[in-house]
Amino acid sequence: MKYKNGQYHIENINAEKIVRKFGTPSYIYSYDKIKENINNFKKNFKSIKPIICFSVKSNANLQILKIIKSFGLGADVVSKGELMIALKAGIKPDKIVFSGVGKTTKELKFAIDRKIFLINAESESEILEIEKLAKSKNIKVKIGIRLNPDTDANTISKISTGKKENKFGVNLQTFIKILNKYKGSNYIKMSCLSVHIGSQITSHKPFQKMLSIVKKSIQKSNHSFEYIDLGGGMGIKYSHKDKKLNYKIYCKLIEKFLKSFNSRIIFEPGRSIIGNAGVIISRIIYIKQTPKIDFIIMDAAMNDLIRPALYGTNHSIIPLHKKKTRISKKYEFVGPICETTDKFMLTKSYQKLKQNDYLIICDVGAYGMVLSSNYNLRPKAVEILVKNSKLKIIKKRQSITDII
Ligand code: LLP
């Protein structure tokens, strides 16, 4: 995904060609980028041979999941819907882990009937429910227990999950209580310790702290786990100011950790696999000039990409046709939705823009389309895959009649 002669290209295709054919706003993904990310992820953790389960919540497009499956990844799911789509993508049940604080009896039953790899339980009541179901079928169900390590992930506070005030997992005391209670159970096999402290983590330090707490907790519990599920959370660079996670150090820390335990590592990456493999192309509907600022009113809005409105995060917006000169001007990039938070970016200098220019919103492959909505009764955008210089619609644009 780069400029060639000032024109933005996705693989070898000029982005302008894509929008002329499919309109805007459009989500576009690059097959090569997904492949590159998966290969890099595998390379970075080669020495520990992890089981990699893609976090479906970050991108649940069936065709994307099929690609991810073709590279041998399993799935991390958090609902019956995600479990069903992972299975539909051809991911084998023995490569699927099921996380989440509120799995219903129906969801648990569905997962148990499909004989999935692991159910990562997050409370005593959930384990009781799993035991009840296993007992009724007279089988032993493999579970993970999610430990809340009370670790600050030093990320956006709204996507932090591993502190004691967060709803996720159980504290060490409960963790040990559960281990003791189900030690001899005929119906529950406690195979895994799972942990996930948050998302978009760009320093190895929170992971280091998490590993040290997990280590101490296992030693205290006196239980051996076949698997340690370290979740996902590896951050990506949304702007040149963002730091890049040092995978080498993270992997070394895990290697060191594994010296004390004979366990296999599971990862549940989402963003690091798909985040930078997708963009939105949008058209400028109008430019509204005011004394202090020009509002660039785009046809993509917070219903297409809610991350900036929800978390206050930034996605770079770059022009499809790049010009050589920039002007000093305050531009605010906004969508047409009737909400003040429907805005993406504020700049002080940019190239001169005009009505109908196209813009690229970068790094929207993860938590983009999955969090989109029909707010203001706006149809959801089309999703397109670029592979081998070919374009394929992988999800149709919704029509207004669809939603009405
Ligand atoms: N495993 C568990 C248990 C999770 O809760 C999550 C993400 C992941 C794995 C994948 O994390 P990743 O590798 O993608 O960081 N909507 C927010 C992110 C929420 C993440 C929720 N959990 C955003 O747009 O930034």
Q: 3-class secondary structure for the chain? A: CEEECCEEEECCEEHHHHHHHHCCCEEEEEHHHHHHHHHHHHHHCHHHCCEEEEEHHHCCCHHHHHHHHHCCCEEEECCHHHHHHHHHCCCCHHHEEECCCCCCHHHHHHHHHCCCCEEEECCHHHHHHHHHHHHHHCCCEEEEEEECCCCCCCCCHHHECCCCCCCCCECHHHHHHHHHHHCCCCCEEEEEEECCCECCECCHHHHHHHHHHHHHHHHHHCCCCCEEECCCCECCCCCCCCCCCCHHHHHHHHHHHHCCCCCEEEECCCHHHHHHHEEEEEEEEEEEECCCCEEEEECCCCCCCCHHHHHCCCCCEEECECCCCCEEEEEEEECCCCCCCCEEEEEEEECCCCCCCEEEECCCCCCCHHHCCCHHHCCCCEEEEEECCEEEEEECCCCHHHHC
Decide: 25 in ligand 1 pocket, CB within 6 A. no
Q: 298 C-alpha vs ligand 1 centroid, how far in Å?
A: 28
Do 108 and 13 share a domain, yes or no? no
Mind telling me the catalytic residues?
A: 338
Is the model's pLDDT at 161 over the cut of 80? no
Do 204 and 334 share a domain, yes or no? no
Number of domains in the chain: 2
Domain that holds residue 358: 2-29+275-403
Is the model's pLDDT at 15 over the cut of 90? yes
Which of 213, 242, 273 terminates a domain? The answer is 273
Which of 213, 244, 273 terminates a domain? The answer is 273
| Mean pLDDT, range 332-361, rounded to an integer | 97
Residue owning the nearest CA to atom 5 of ligand 1? 196
Q: 136 C-alpha vs ligand 1 centroid, how far in Å?
A: 33
* Model pLDDT for residues 271-289, shown as the tens digit of each residue: 999 999 999 999 999 999 9
Confidence at residue 142, expressed as pLDDT on a 0 to 100 scale: 97
Q: 201 C-alpha vs ligand 1 centroid, how far in Å?
A: 10
Q: At 23, which CATH number?
A: 2.40.37.10
Do 87 and 193 share a domain, yes or no? yes
Do 228 and 103 share a domain, yes or no? yes
pLDDT band at 74 (very low <50, low <70, confident <90, very high): very high
Which of 230, 258, 273 terminates a domain? The answer is 273
Confidence at residue 166, expressed as pLDDT on a 0 to 100 scale: 85
Do 94 and 109 share a domain, yes or no? yes
Confidence at residue 156, expressed as pLDDT on a 0 to 100 scale: 76
pTM over 0.95: yes
Do 92 and 50 share a domain, yes or no? yes
Confidence at residue 157, expressed as pLDDT on a 0 to 100 scale: 77
Do 245 and 159 share a domain, yes or no? yes
Do 81 and 183 share a domain, yes or no? yes
Decide: 146 in ligand 1 pocket, CB within 6 A. no
Work out the mean pLDDT of the chain and round it to a whole number: 96
Percent of the chain with pLDDT over 70: 100
Do 260 and 293 share a domain, yes or no? no
Confidence at residue 163, expressed as pLDDT on a 0 to 100 scale: 83
Do 208 and 294 share a domain, yes or no? no
